[in-house]
Amino acid sequence: MDLFNEAKKRFQTVHAILSYPEIFAHDYIKQLSTATEEAYALMDAGLCANAAIDYNCIDHRNFIRSVMETLKMLEAGVGERENHQAVFAEYAVRVNLILERISTVLGSRTGSRVWYGIPL
């Protein structure tokens, strides 16, 4: 599996869901929760294994973990969805940064199947 291509797909899904105007509808929250968990799993499985991918990768990953907790609360009906608009706005910014970095890594590939110790 190409970790970076898979991560790009997962974060593109998150980006698309975050762009929905009805983001606070229960169905979208559930979709965002699932997509976020899948993207987080890839970050945890090796995307952040080497800080060379992005010195902020671990910070982004930890933020995404807090977003997952917020999404679980919203799925359970705890809290007002509109109170979390700032969190989702920051999440969208971070997803864009992650996608930009992944695209940079994918664009800089030469012939090597390893990038800073991370198999590609």
Q: Is the confidence at residue 110, as pLDDT, over 80?
A: no
Contact partners, residue 70, CB within 8 Å, separation at least 6? 79, 84, 87
Do residues 49 and 32 lie in contact, with contact meaning Cβ atoms separated by under 8 Å?
Answer: no
* Residue 70 belongs to some domain of the structure: yes
**How far apart (Å, rounded) are the C-alpha atoms in residues 72 and 74?**
5
Residue closest to 53 by CA, chosen among 113, 3, 93: 3
pLDDT attached to residue 66? 96
* Residue 116 belongs to some domain of the structure: no
Interval 90-106: pLDDT, tens: 999 999 999 998 888 88
What average pLDDT does the chain have? 83
Interval 26-44: pLDDT, tens: 788 999 999 999 999 988 8
* Residue 119 belongs to some domain of the structure: no
User: Per the structure, how many domains does the chain have?
Assistant: 1
Note down the domain range covering 51. Answer: 3-107
Whole-model pTM: value is 0.82
